């Protein structure tokens, strides 16, 4: 475990030493290495190139002249299966091919994507919408859609550019005067198509069996187990000469159970598994063990006492700390926010300054595929702006160093570091990848608990808290509201100062403000937790990971969570008979 | 096509589970001192859906799914006053504020067993009962401060009955074969470079419905529905967004026209769109005689008159009685003249065919388990009846079996006349129109042959034109095929006209009709708002109408600004490329 952490740390340090110019040279070398593999028989690539060429010629004669055009095609194949109570609830397959177009008019320095300040930024009926493309159509059928989409994108760009020019003239000088976009050397990379293969009969049988096990417990009011298999084939073609075609398979398995306590509180528990290939998912026996464990935990949780408001020392488990960092720190280092005049830009003044205790590094590494023995969700080869994925050391020995950058530069950070990401239907902005918290000084988790007990005794608290699992959280980054965060734990234990056995409790969220909480981290465990998930923000949903050791925080505040006022069911469950008659 | 000769084997355990949980709930469901349910109904729907969407020979979407859904209806209080007919806006928009179970259109496992269904019914019934009890309390609280003038009961109990409409098999479809045909149909548009988008959409939605209620009324029925829609769009050189559509609906694929016939329909759509593109735009408002032919007459009737034939009840709200403002013009007009005296309207939901055309909206049992009978709604211009569900209204207490898609809805309507003097051949209708033009010294009149259907407008045309298609204002109907006819009989195609009917009164101005009937199957917007009913936004309906010559109607030009035409010709425009 420590070896892996050290490896990360060394690698991270080496990335930090690279200068931007060197990085660009390395990228050019990669370009040459992969150029020959581009498949000229790919209909989608051909259609994109042909239409791009036609439009580039046409754009030469219009005013304003576009200086950049990008096409993204998302060819998505999905297989979805879910089971409840031993029966298949849904079984569906779908395939869609979607086109997004970006046309930039003006110049790299100032273009139509520039932030509009005030109410000019509100545009009714001009939201980005993907265009449906035939997934088996010939070149002409594809080109017809590309033609229409480009025409609409250009007109929308012209309209917005006019607004940008006026908006700039009537508003005060901007705090950050960096360019709207940066050029990037052309990239050429091509992966041949893959087949989506899933034995749905086999998986249906497994899901039925596992969901029967879930439903067998009287504590469980609701349960579902689902498998979502996706093969996303992504195309990016730009007027700079970039053509990138990649395959992104993703297998997601989720167990969801829900109970209701007598006081009305809804108690959910989740287990999610994510892998790039079927072999990366747990075995049936392993899943069965998890199902049984989660049901047992839910039964305990249903009868657990409710915790009142509290402020004192606490431990965040590795997974909980990972999510905490993703929500509270990660979203604040997404570079585009620093340009947004409505954003609080919390970390802007901290570049080069101590933000965390010196024993912590925070790294974002989309080039890493596994960490602590777990496959990571936030890995990719190129970001959605055609920039190769790069490891970014954001915090080194507690000092804040780097923002995550797309091709929209900010003051002091003129280049992308390969984190411009998006979902179909959105435009790329800087987003997180695989977040890794690296601690240079660690202790076993048991020792961390001992520290917690000692801290409780020192501060006169009868107990501290251990946040074992967490559902997610949210944070506000706007200037108009307090920059607080809320994290929603699922499993919390009281850890008593006197060494009494830990007690499971329920009913609290932990809250705080980022800077104060960062400075309260005092120790970390050897054990690493990995959280894989899908992060939703301005540019849509993207897969991410968050990895961290467990962290001891000297003071953390919890508040009562929102609670359902609805009673549990009035009647007992109906008598069940085993009589499977399926259509 | 092959069908199932019998019902699936799970029907019996499903029905037994519904009966058993209903009996347990009626017997035991209660909260402390609050009232128990006096009525419970369960509706179970199992759907085998197949869909495909194709453009220019390529597939945009295609798939088959099976799904099961459950809806629970509970009444607490008494038939005189219960929790229904109360519009609880807060509950509608925000729910109860809790994480309650869903009880309307609840998705349940598609693999069915007695045990699985009992559990789903238990959770949904519990949630429905809690909501009903709260809603009754809110309603009674409001009534404490009101002098109630309308004493119409909330419900009228009925006797037990067991109904079946399962003689016809549950149809299945070979989606691969359908997709192959759709490819060929859609590929026709490739030869028309004026066409910007052209999609062909197919949906096949057979459904098995099982219903039980605490009165002992139950039914099992097979609801069958299939549709094929062609939507093509373009833009004129002045930027005006243009559309041309064709839609057919039926109960089974056999009800649809042959594939060859559908290819001809596609050809007609793209040719008509191309003609529309080069036609002059309507520039002046027009008021005078208009001849509505075929589809246009049927759409005019479906959009303007048919929804008014549905009985409606203004619900009580927390602010008192909230008057409905949609489709209520005829609620108090029973006995009054509402259209020309030579016209009558009949509702014939049992008719499965009108002339050679299959009727998509035909049914034998409505959603509340009532068998509808044919009704004359308008007799020689005078309103006699309205179509009703089990929601009593001031004028109509009992259901006449017209509950579909969540509330009362019009079904299969025939607009006809027995007065042969008013039935004219097409040439005679045109001649009659020319006489009026001469009498009124108007240089020209209009013949409208196609009006845009609302479902196609909002689900396809609007999207395919990037939201730029001009919809006019409230009560305006975009006309897609318009001919200007000069007094000397010359005709020319024009584009960009909106029919402004000005309410149902336009049907009082009908002075003559054609001799045949145009049978128009359509997806019509629900008359009872789905926000209130929790039902479907569009419901299948059939109207059969003759051509209609209206003495005085309005046609307005589009006054909107249009988006500029594309900078480049379509890649399909090989001539343009040269």
Report the residue of chain B nearest A86, measured CA to CA. B116
Say if the Cβ atoms of B55 and A137 lie within 8 Å: yes
Number of Cβ within 10 Å of residue B473's Cβ equals: 9
Residue A360: both structure tokens together: 């912590």
At residue A319, does pLDDT exceed 50? yes
In-domain check, residue B575: no
At residue A472, does pLDDT exceed 50? yes
Predicted TM-score (pTM) of the model is 0.90
In-domain check, residue A8: no
B406/B369 Cα distance (integer angstroms):
13
Report the residue of chain A nearest B187, measured CA to CA. A141
At residue A229, does pLDDT exceed 70? yes
Write down which residue in B167, B196, B214 finishes a domain: B167
Q: What is the 3-state secondary structure (H, E, C) of B165-187?
A: ECCCCCECCCHHHHHHHHHHHHH
In-domain check, residue A572: no
How far apart are the CA of B24 and the nearest CA of chain A, in angstroms?
A: 9
DSSP string, A401-444: ---B--SS-BTTB-S--S-EE--TTS--EE---EEEEEESS-B-
Chain B residues touching A54 at Cβ < 8 A: 568, 571
Q: What's residue B533's pLDDT?
A: 81
Q: For the segment B88-132, what is each residue's pLDDT rounded down to a tens digit?
A: 777 666 665 667 788 999 999 999 989 999 999 999 999 999 999
Say if the Cβ atoms of A83 and B109 lie within 8 Å: yes
Q: What's residue A36's pLDDT?
A: 41
Say if the Cβ atoms of B63 and A132 lie within 8 Å: no
In sequence order, which residues have a C-beta less than 8 Å from that of residue B171 and are 6 or more positions away?
B1, B3, B204, B206, B224, B226, B251, B252, B253
Q: Would an 8 Å CB–CB cutoff place A582 in contact with chain B?
A: yes
Residue B320, classified by CB atoms within 10 Å of its CB into exposed (0-12), middle (13-18) or buried (19+), is: exposed
Q: For the segment A163-211, what is each residue's pLDDT rounded down to a tens digit?
A: 999 888 888 888 888 999 999 999 999 999 999 999 999 999 999 999 9
| Listed range (A34-43, A48-57, A337-346, A380-389) with the worst mean pLDDT | A34-43
Residue located via tokens 């007690």: A503
Residue A186: both structure tokens together: 């052309």
Say if the Cβ atoms of A89 and B108 lie within 8 Å: yes
Beta partners for residue B358, in sequence order: B353
A103 and A113 in contact (C-beta within 8 Å)? no
In-domain check, residue B18: yes
Closest in B65, B98, B108 to A565, CB measured? B98
Compute φ and ψ for A559, nearest 5 degrees: -130, 160
Q: What's residue B130's pLDDT?
A: 93
Q: What single DSSP character describes residue B574?
A: H
Closest in A89, A154, A564 to B567, CB measured? A154
B178 and B6 in contact (C-beta within 8 Å)? no
B494 and B279 in contact (C-beta within 8 Å)? yes
Q: Are B424 and B548 members of one domain? A: yes
Say if the Cβ atoms of A87 and B116 lie within 8 Å: yes
Q: Mean pLDDT in chain A?
A: 88
Residues 3-42 of A with CB under 8 A from B: none
Query: N- to C-terminal Cα distance for chain B?
Result: 47
Q: Would an 8 Å CB–CB cutoff place B397 in contact with chain A?
A: no
The residue of A63, A137, A488 whose CB has the most chain B CBs within 10 angstroms, and thus the best one to mutate to test that interface, is: A137
Residue A263: both structure tokens together: 């006081």
How far apart are the CA of A530 and the nearest CA of chain B, in angstroms?
A: 29
Chain A residues touching B119 at Cβ < 8 A: 85, 215, 573-574, 576
Q: Are A346 and A387 members of one domain? A: yes
Q: Are A323 and A281 members of one domain? A: no
Chain A residues touching B194 at Cβ < 8 A: none
Q: Are A112 and A214 members of one domain? A: yes
Highest mean pLDDT among A29-43, A431-445, A482-496: A431-445
Q: What's residue A12's pLDDT?
A: 31
Q: What's residue B93's pLDDT?
A: 65
Write down which residue in A302, A333, A362 finishes a domain: A302
Local structure of B496: helix, strand or coil: coil
A343 and A397 in contact (C-beta within 8 Å)? no
Q: Would an 8 Å CB–CB cutoff place B133 in contact with chain A?
A: no
Closest in A62, A566, A581 to B96, CB measured? A566
Say if the Cβ atoms of A58 and B96 lie within 8 Å: no
How far apart are the CA of B321 and the nearest CA of chain A, in angstroms?
A: 29
Q: Would an 8 Å CB–CB cutoff place B469 in contact with chain A?
A: no
Report the residue of chain B nearest A579, measured CA to CA. B113
Helix (H) or strand (E) run with residue B408 in it? strand B407-408
In-domain check, residue B262: no
How far apart are the CA of A376 and the nearest CA of chain B, in angstroms?
A: 31
Q: What single DSSP character describes residue A334?
A: B
Q: Are B411 and B535 members of one domain? A: yes
The sign of the dihedral angle between the CA atoms of B74, B77, B81, B87 is negative
Q: Are A319 and A433 members of one domain? A: yes
Q: Would an 8 Å CB–CB cutoff place B562 in contact with chain A?
A: no
In-domain check, residue A26: no
Write down which residue in A302, A335, A369 finishes a domain: A302
Q: Are A238 and A330 members of one domain? A: no
Q: Give the number of C-alpha atoms closer than 13 A to the C-alpha of residue B131, restricted to the C-beta side.
A: 27
Chain B residues touching A134 at Cβ < 8 A: 54-60
In-domain check, residue B414: yes
In-domain check, residue B535: yes
Domain count, chain A: 2
The sign of the dihedral angle between the CA atoms of A209, A215, A217, A220 is positive
Q: Would an 8 Å CB–CB cutoff place B561 in contact with chain A?
A: no
In-domain check, residue A20: no
Q: What is the 3-state secondary structure (H, E, C) of B78-133?
A: CCCCECCCEECHHHHHHCCCCCCCCCCCEEECCCCEHHHHHHHHHHHHHHHHHHHH
B37/B26 Cα distance (integer angstroms):
6
Domain count, chain B: 2
Say if the Cβ atoms of B55 and A141 lie within 8 Å: yes
Compute φ and ψ for B284, nearest 5 degrees: -115, 140
Q: What's residue B314's pLDDT?
A: 84
Q: Are A470 and A497 members of one domain? A: yes
Q: Identify the band that residue A2 occupies on the pLDDT scale cut at 50, 70 and 90.
A: very low
The residue of B63, B116, B182, B183 whose CB has the most chain A CBs within 10 angstroms, and thus the best one to mutate to test that interface, is: B116
Residues 29-68 of B with CB under 8 A from A: 29-31, 46, 53-63, 65-67
Q: What's residue A120's pLDDT?
A: 63
**Ramachandran assignment for A279, one of left (phi > 0), alpha (psi -120 to 50 degrees), beta (any other):** alpha
Q: Mean pLDDT throughout A343-348?
A: 84
Q: Are A283 and A363 members of one domain? A: no
Compute φ and ψ for B188, nearest 5 degrees: -60, -35
Q: Are A58 and A121 members of one domain? A: yes
Among B391, B397, B324, B320, CA closest to B148: B320
Chain B residues touching A56 at Cβ < 8 A: none
Chain A residues touching B8 at Cβ < 8 A: 583
Q: What's residue B321's pLDDT?
A: 59
Q: What's residue A124's pLDDT?
A: 56
Closest in B63, B99, B130 to A266, CB measured? B99
Q: Are A271 and A318 members of one domain? A: no
Chain A residues touching B55 at Cβ < 8 A: 132, 134, 137, 141, 144-145
Q: Are A185 and A138 members of one domain? A: yes
In-domain check, residue A24: no
At residue A15, does pLDDT exceed 80? no
Q: Are A290 and A320 members of one domain? A: no
Q: Are B143 and B289 members of one domain? A: no
Angle A106-A109-A112 from CA coordinates, rounded to 5°: 40
Q: Are A314 and A241 members of one domain? A: no
In-domain check, residue A14: no
Q: What's residue A20's pLDDT?
A: 26
Q: Mean pLDDT throughout A348-363?
A: 95
Residue located via tokens 């409606």: B312
- What length does chain B have? 578
B507/A349 Cα distance (integer angstroms):
73
Q: What's residue B324's pLDDT?
A: 59
| Listed range (A340-349, A438-447, A461-470, B424-433) with the worst mean pLDDT | A340-349
CATH classification of the domain holding A104 = 3.30.2290.10
In sequence order, which residues have a C-beta less than 8 Å from that of residue A162 and are 6 or more positions away?
none
Q: Mean pLDDT throughout A489-514?
A: 94
Q: Are B283 and B150 members of one domain? A: no
Q: Would an 8 Å CB–CB cutoff place A263 in contact with chain B?
A: no
Write down which residue in B147, B167, B187 finishes a domain: B167
Angle B289-B294-B295 from CA coordinates, rounded to 5°: 105
Residue located via tokens 């944070």: A475
In-domain check, residue A226: yes
Q: What's residue A10's pLDDT?
A: 33
At residue A7, does pLDDT exceed 50? no
Helix (H) or strand (E) run with residue A343 in it? none
Q: Would an 8 Å CB–CB cutoff place B191 in contact with chain A?
A: no
A81 and A127 in contact (C-beta within 8 Å)? no
In-domain check, residue B208: no
Residues 150-179 of A with CB under 8 A from B: 151-152, 154-155
Domain of A83 in residue numbering reads as: 38-302
Q: What's residue B441's pLDDT?
A: 96
In-domain check, residue A57: yes
Chain B residues touching A89 at Cβ < 8 A: 107-111
Q: Mean pLDDT throughout A94-103?
A: 96
Q: From the centroid of its chain, how far is CA B464?
A: 21
How far apart are the CA of B502 and the nearest CA of chain A, in angstroms?
A: 29
Residue B91: both structure tokens together: 């509950």
Domain of B360 in residue numbering reads as: 279-557
Among B405, B532, B534, B391, CA closest to B87: B532
Report the residue of chain A nearest B465, measured CA to CA. A148
How far apart are the CA of B197 and the nearest CA of chain A, in angstroms?
A: 8
Q: Are B146 and B292 members of one domain? A: no
B360/B203 Cα distance (integer angstroms):
14
Write down which residue in B144, B167, B190 finishes a domain: B167
B188/B265 Cα distance (integer angstroms):
10
A160/A155 Cα distance (integer angstroms):
9
User: Which parts of chain B sit beneath pLDDT 50?
Assistant: 1-5, 576-578
Residue A48: both structure tokens together: 């994109």
A332/B313 Cα distance (integer angstroms):
54
At residue A73, does pLDDT exceed 80? yes
Q: Would an 8 Å CB–CB cutoff place A62 in contact with chain B?
A: yes
Instruction: Please report the number of interchain residue pairs, chain A to chain B, with beta-carbon separation below 8 angstroms.
Output: 182
Among B564, B495, B56, CA closest to B282: B495
Closest in B58, B61, B65 to A141, CB measured? B58
Closest in A85, A94, A137 to B57, CB measured? A137
Q: Would an 8 Å CB–CB cutoff place B532 in contact with chain A?
A: no
Compute φ and ψ for A212, nearest 5 degrees: -65, -40
| Listed range (A31-35, A308-312, A360-364) with the worst mean pLDDT | A31-35
CA distances from A107 to A56, A213, A427, B339, B343 (A): 16, 60, 18, 64, 67
Check residues B149 and A439 and name the one with the higher pLDDT: A439
Q: For the segment A515-558, what is each residue's pLDDT rounded down to a tens digit?
A: 888 999 999 999 999 999 999 888 999 999 999 999 999 999 99
Q: Would an 8 Å CB–CB cutoff place B9 in contact with chain A?
A: yes
Q: Identify the band that residue A22 occupies on the pLDDT scale cut at 50, 70 and 90.
A: very low
């Amino acid at each position: 475990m420590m070896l892996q952490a050290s490896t990360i740390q060394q690698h991270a340090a080496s990335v930090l030493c690279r200068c931007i110019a060197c990085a660009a040279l390395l990228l050019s070398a990669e370009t040459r290495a992969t150029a020959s593999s581009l498949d000229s028989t790919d209909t989608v690539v051909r259609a994109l190139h042909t239409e791009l060429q036609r439009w580039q010629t046409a754009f030469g004669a219009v005013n304003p002249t576009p200086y950049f055009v990008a096409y993204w095609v998302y060819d998505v194949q999905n297989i979805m299966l879910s089971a409840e109570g031993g029966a298949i609830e849904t079984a569906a397959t779908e395939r869609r091919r979607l086109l997004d177009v970006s046309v930039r008019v003006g110049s790299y320095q100032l273009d139509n994507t520039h932030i509009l300040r005030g109410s000019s930024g509100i545009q009714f009926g001009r939201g980005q919408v993907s265009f449906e493309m035939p997934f088996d159509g010939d070149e002409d059928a594809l080109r017809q859609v590309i033609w229409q989409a480009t025409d609409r994108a250009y007109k929308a760009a012209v309209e917005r550019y006019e607004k940008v020019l006026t908006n700039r003239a009537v508003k005060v000088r901007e705090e950050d005067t960096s360019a709207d976009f940066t050029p990037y050397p052309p990239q050429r990379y091509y992966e041949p198509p893959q087949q989506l293969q899933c034995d749905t009969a086999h998986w249906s049988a497994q899901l039925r069996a596992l969901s029967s096990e879930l439903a067998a417990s009287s504590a469980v009011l609701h349960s579902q187990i689902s498998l979502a298999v996706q093969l996303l084939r992504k195309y990016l073609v730009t007027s700079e000469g970039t053509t990138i075609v990649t395959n992104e398979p993703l297998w997601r398995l989720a167990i969801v159970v829900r109970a209701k306590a007598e006081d009305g509180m809804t108690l959910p528990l989740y287990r999610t598994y994510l892998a790039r290939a079927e072999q990366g998912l747990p075995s049936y026996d392993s899943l069965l063990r998890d199902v049984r464990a989660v049901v047992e935990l839910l039964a305990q949780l249903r009868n657990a006492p409710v915790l009142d408001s509290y402020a004192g020392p606490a431990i965040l488990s590795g997974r909980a700390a990972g999510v905490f960092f993703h929500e509270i720190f990660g979203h604040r280092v997404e570079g585009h926010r620093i340009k947004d005049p409505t954003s609080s830009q919390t970390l802007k003044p901290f570049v080069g300054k101590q933000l965390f205790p010196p024993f912590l590094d925070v790294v974002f590494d989309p080039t890493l595929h596994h960490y602590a023995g777990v496959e990571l969700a936030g890995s990719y080869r190129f970001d959605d702006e055609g920039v190769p994925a790069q490891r970014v050391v954001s915090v080194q020995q507690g000092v804040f160093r780097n923002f995550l950058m797309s091709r929209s530069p900010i003051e002091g950070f003129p280049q992308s570091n390969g984190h411009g990401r998006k979902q179909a239907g959105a435009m790329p902005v800087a987003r997180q990848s695989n977040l890794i918290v690296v601690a240079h000084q660690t202790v076993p988790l048991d020792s961390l608990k001992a520290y917690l007990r000692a801290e409780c005794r020192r501060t006169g608290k009868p107990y501290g808290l251990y946040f074992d699992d967490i559902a997610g959280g949210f944070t506000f980054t706007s200037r108009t509201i307090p920059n607080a965060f809320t994290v929603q734990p699922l499993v919390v234990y009281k850890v008593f100062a006197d060494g009494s056995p830990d007690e499971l409790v329920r009913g609290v969220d932990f809250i705080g403000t980022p800077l104060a909480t960062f400075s309260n981290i005092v120790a970390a465990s050897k054990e690493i937790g990995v959280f894989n998930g899908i992060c939703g923000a301005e540019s849509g949903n993207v897969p991410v990971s968050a990895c961290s050791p467990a962290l001891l925080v000297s003071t953390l505040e919890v508040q009562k969570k929102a609670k359902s006022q609805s009673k549990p069911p009035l009647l007992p469950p109906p008598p069940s008979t085993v009589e499977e008659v399926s259509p | 096509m092959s069908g199932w000769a019998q019902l699936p084997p799970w029907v019996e355990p499903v029905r037994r589970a519904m009966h058993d949980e209903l009996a347990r709930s009626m017997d035991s469901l209660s909260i402390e001192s609050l009232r128990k349910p006096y009525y419970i109904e369960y509706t179970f729907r199992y759907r085998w859906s197949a869909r495909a969407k194709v453009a220019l020979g390529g597939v945009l979407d295609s798939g088959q799914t099976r799904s099961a859904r459950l809806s629970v209806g509970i009444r607490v209080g008494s038939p005189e006053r219960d929790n229904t007919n109360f519009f609880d806006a807060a509950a509608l928009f925000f729910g109860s504020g809790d994480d309650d179970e869903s009880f309307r259109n609840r998705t349940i496992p598609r693999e069915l067993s007695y045990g699985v269904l009992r559990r789903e019914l238990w959770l949904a019934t519990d949630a429905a009962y809690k909501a009903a009890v709260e809603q009754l309390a809110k309603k009674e609280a409001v009534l404490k401060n009101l002098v109630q003038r309308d004493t119409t009961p909330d419900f009228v109990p009925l006797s037990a009955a067991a109904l079946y409409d399962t003689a016809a098999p549950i149809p299945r479809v070979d989606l691969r074969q359908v997709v192959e045909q759709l490819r060929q149909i859609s590929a026709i548009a490739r030869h028309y470079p004026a066409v910007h988008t052209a999609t062909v959409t197919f949906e096949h939605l057979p459904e098995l419905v099982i219903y039980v209620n605490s009165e002992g009324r139950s039914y099992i029925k097979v609801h069958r529905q299939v549709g094929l829609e062609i939507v093509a769009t373009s833009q004129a050189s002045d930027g005006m967004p243009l559309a041309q559509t064709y839609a057919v609906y039926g109960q089974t694929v056999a009800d649809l026209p042959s594939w060859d016939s559908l290819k001809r329909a596609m050809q007609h759509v793209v040719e008509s769109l191309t003609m529309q593109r080069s036609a002059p735009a309507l520039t002046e408002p027009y008021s005078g005689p208009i001849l509505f032919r075929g589809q246009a007459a049927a759409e005019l009737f479906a959009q303007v008159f048919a929804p008014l034939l549905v009985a409606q009840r203004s619900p009580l709200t927390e602010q008192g009685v909230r008057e409905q403002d949609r489709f209520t013009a005829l609620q108090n007009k029973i006995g009054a003249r509402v259209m020309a005296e030579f016209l009558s309207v009949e509702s014939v939901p049992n008719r499965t065919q009108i002339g050679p055309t299959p009727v998509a909206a035909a049914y034998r049992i409505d959603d509340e388990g009532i068998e509808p009978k044919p009704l004359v709604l308008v007799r020689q211009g005078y309103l006699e009846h309205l179509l009703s569900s089990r929601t009593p209204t001031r004028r109509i207490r009992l259901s006449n079996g017209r509950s579909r898609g969540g509330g009362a809805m019009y079904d299969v309507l025939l607009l006809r006349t027995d007065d042969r003097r008013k039935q004219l051949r097409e040439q005679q209708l045109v001649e009659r129109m020319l006489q009026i033009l001469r009498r009124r010294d108007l240089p020209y009149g209009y013949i409208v042959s196609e009006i845009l259907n609302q479902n196609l407008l909002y689900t396809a045309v609007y999207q395919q034109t990037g939201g730029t298609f001009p919809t006019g204002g409230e009560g305006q109907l975009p006309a897609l095929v318009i001919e200007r006819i000069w007094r000397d009989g010359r005709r020319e195609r024009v584009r960009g006209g909106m029919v402004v009917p000005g309410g149902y009164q336009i049907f009082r101005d009908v002075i003559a009709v054609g001799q045949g009937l145009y049978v128009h199957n359509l997806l019509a917007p629900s008359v009872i708002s789905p926000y209130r009913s929790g039902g479907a936004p569009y419901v299948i309906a059939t109207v059969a109408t003759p051509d209609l010559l209206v003495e005085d109607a309005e046609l307005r030009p589009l006054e909107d600004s249009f988006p500029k035409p594309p900078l480049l010709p379509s890649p399909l425009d090989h001539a343009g490329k040269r």
